[in-house]
Chains A and B, each alone.
Chain A
């Protein structure tokens, strides 16, 4: 047991290590960031949601930095696009932290976090489950590889166009800025990295080549999550260094083992299983916001 200085509660170090290690393992196995599993897992452990969200961001910063070092070596980062996404992300996370603080003061933060997670986990879980099951039944899904890239999207028609040599694009700067903003705001409120929103949007909306998508999204996630940590530290004082350290340790080690094991495994089974797990977790959030509890009253107003 260790007393968390900011959450102001004792937790079992082994339990948190186990949970963060498992989440890291799963994210390494499936190739997702893991923030959207880690934060609800912390909440289930009894960590106050504001602390879970703000502290989760520091773990995301660690994982994304670790990832970006690998990607830079492969020259798989479009820095110009990354800067643009990050600019949007900085504005978005600033707004997100502001909203977070407002909601915390109003006593509605936990409700909003629950609702956002309900939607997020249910949709991502259902997609993963469907994808995994479809592949298991032997139907190949239309993957991004066979998409013809030169298709013009809204990104090609809007004004303020700019050249992105690394991605081979000539598109408007508005969609990357807007995308960065939305993901940054979600990152601040939900404690997620947002890679699983960024990556599909970069492929389908911005038509970026798949080989630079992961590295570039990691760059945006790194900038945004680092900023969220600093902003939450100053605005709400909800970043717990001790909890963050345990999460980083467990998450990083778990992710490495997961990535290694994932290389030799058929991923569709794992994807389907994780999808089912996420749907089940979303049911818990659904339960919280729809089934009247025996105690109808709650204490609020910065009291967590």
Chain B
């Protein structure tokens, strides 16, 4: 019952929203997110993003792929090397357009769903969009590219799941009878707070038959949002404010403990 209500809600939400920019393919996949705006308050400890949709095929044929992406940004990867007996960060290799967050959820292994060409074209791989900006000094760029993905993976910023959630991990993609699917992904607390997009794709026999893009935003609320906005938009005032608080705390301490 609840699920059916959710689908109805999702369809209504979709009908209202304008078609977002998607990479390619027919943008007719009915899909939505549980929360279009994630709130960040002082008790924020990460979040979950839930994407659900319905396979438009009447017999629910095809495979589902859901990708949640953070904004692309440039990033440098450095390899530690020895200089004067010390380990220093050497040889910075700069990648532009690397996703700051990337979660891939599918109901089968990606390589069984589609071809490497399409994986690259629809950027279903976190490294697919990362363009090398600088010349690689000694090693081959693939080592740096692999290191980028590996480091982001250990930070929990790049994730991939090819099946339903398990008892230990709520993240995963479940396909229900009738064509409904639901993808859940954990957004760790260290994931950047920015504008995200969730893309849902349906592939059949390796070809993309339908897709949909849903934007996900963040809202810093309460004291947390106030402090952040102040620090970013009125940084001089913010700095003076912190100093005033420090002096006040110092004065209070001197005053209180003199009496005691």
Contact = CB atoms under 8 A, between A and B. Distances in A.
B167 interface: no
A158 B64 CA distance: 79
Contacts of A99: none
A62 B231 contact: no
- Majority SS of interface residues in chain B? helix
A242 B238 CA distance: 12
A291 B85 CA distance: 10
Contacts of B240: 230
A6 interface: yes
A168 interface: no
Interface string A230-259: 111110010101101100110011011000
Given A66-B250, A234-B239, A292-B80, A300 B257 contact: no
B89 A69 contact: no
B243 A297 contact: no
- Among B74, B78, B227, max chain A CB count under 10 A is at B78
A288 B192 CA distance: 27
Interface string B224-244: 110110011001101111110
A62 to B, nearest CB: 4
A299 B77 contact: yes
Contacts of A229: 239, 242-243, 246
A193 to B, nearest CB: 12
Interface residues of A, number: 57
A65 interface: yes
B100 to A, nearest CB: 9
Contacts of B245: 58, 241, 244-245, 248
A241 B239 contact: no
Nearest to A61: B246
A107 B92 contact: yes
25 contacts: A3-B42, A3-B43, A3-B44, A5-B227, A6-B227, A8-B192, A65-B247, A65-B250, A67-B250, A70-B254, A106-B92, A230-B236, A230-B243, A241-B238, A241-B245, A244-B242, A245-B245, A249-B249, A289-B86, A290-B86, A292-B80, A297-B150, A299-B76, A299-B151, A301-B76
Given A9-B190, A241-B241, A298-B78, 9 more contacts: A5-B227, A61-B247, A229-B242, A229-B246, A244-B245, A295-B151, A298-B77, A299-B77, A301-B92
